[in-house]
Amino acid sequence: MYNVIQLIVKYGAHLLFVVLQVICFSLIINYNKAQKDIFINSSNVFSGKIADLQDKILQFANLKEQNDSLMRENANLIENIIKIEYSSDNIPDSDTLLNQYRLIPSNIINSTIHLSNNHFTLNRGSRHGIQPDMGVIASHKGLVGVVRNVSENFAHVISLLHSQTKISCAVKGRKGHGTLVWKDMDPLRMNLESLPKHEFIATGDTVITSGYSTMFPKGLLIGKIEKFSIPSGSNSYSIKVKLFNDLTNSEYAYVIKNKLGSEQLSLEKEVANE
């Protein structure tokens, strides 16, 4: 106690100064409009800066979660686009048809580009509902490949850039359909074959999926016709397609789950066995 009193005696004047100044400033801020405004504003500036910084740090920490949620959102949006593609058609609408496709977001964790048979690995597997022969897309614009093998947590995908790739596709706004194959070892270009030569096409036309397979729904954008020719003696065009997406730097992919795919396949198999 004695020490406290001694301390107050020794530093009393300084304490008094601080106390009086605090009183003065609280009075200034509370009763003078100009000073009050400046005080509030500069405190806003400081707190705003701090909040901004905090937000930046938290955002960085949350990047992965945000990315995941964005991917889920994207998956929903692409599903909607597919639905619209179907509902705008003349096919009679039905709920089962509209909800036929579901998208499973995933990350590409391993890929090859420059081989003649390229592959991807996704970080989702049978546990997440992926099965062989499902289509894989990068976004609404651009296919990636087809699932070949599935383990519990990973899926092995045959890239579009594979000598065995055959994807049924059509030209938007034109009739007829052909097959998309990869021939020239160019990761940005593919070839569209067996489109009958009596159909009319032009360079710049958009190539879309035809929806004739169970892997990809109708109307997914693939690329643009860069040039085409009719080889002599052939019955179909030889078309070079420039892909919309760049498979060399794809990071995310959506696996398309066709709920009615197995039904369609089993029916077709019965017919084939006859």
Partner 1 sequence: MNKTISTNIIRAIILFLAQIIIFKQITFSLGGLAFIHFLIYPMVILLMPIKTPRSVLLISAFVFGMALDMFYDSIGIHTAALVFTAYIRNLVIAFIEPIEGYNMVDVPTIKVMGIGWFVTYTSILLLFHIFIYFSIEAFSFVYIFEIFLNSIFSFIVSFMVIIILQFLLRTKY
Name the residue nearer to partner 1 (CB basis): 19 or 63.
19
Tokens standing for residue 263? 């039904």
28 lies in the binding site for partner 1 (CB under 8 A): yes
| The one among 25, 46, 200, 212 contacting partner 1 by CB under 8 A | 25
Name the residue nearer to partner 1 (CB basis): 17 or 212.
17
Per-residue b or e along 139-167, where b marks 16 or more CB atoms closer than 10 Å to that residue's CB: bbebbbbbbbebeeebbbbbbbbbeebeb
16 lies in the binding site for partner 1 (CB under 8 A): yes
Cβ 4 to partner 1 shortest distance, Å: 17
3-state secondary structure of 224: strand
Cβ 53 to partner 1 shortest distance, Å: 22
Name the residue nearer to partner 1 (CB basis): 5 or 16.
16
| The one among 6, 21, 99, 149 contacting partner 1 by CB under 8 A | 21
32 lies in the binding site for partner 1 (CB under 8 A): yes
- Pair 232, 72: CB distance under 8 Å: no
Cβ 54 to partner 1 shortest distance, Å: 25
42 lies in the binding site for partner 1 (CB under 8 A): yes
Cα distances (Å, whole numbers) of residue 181 to 72, 96, 166, 176, 189: 30, 31, 5, 17, 10
13 lies in the binding site for partner 1 (CB under 8 A): yes
Burial class (CB in 10 A: 0-12, 13-18, 19+), 252: middle
17 lies in the binding site for partner 1 (CB under 8 A): yes
Cβ 12 to partner 1 shortest distance, Å: 6
33 lies in the binding site for partner 1 (CB under 8 A): no
| The one among 10, 12, 54, 251 contacting partner 1 by CB under 8 A | 12
- Separation between Cα atoms, residue 216 and residue 185, nearest integer Å: 23
SS3 readout for 144-159:
EEEEEEECCCCEEEEE
**DSSP conformation class of 92:** P
- Separation between Cα atoms, residue 23 and residue 100, nearest integer Å: 72
Cβ 248 to partner 1 shortest distance, Å: 53
Cβ 37 to partner 1 shortest distance, Å: 9
Which residues in this chain contact partner 1 in the complex, by CB under 8 A? 12-13, 16-17, 20-21, 23-28, 31-32, 34-35, 38-39, 42
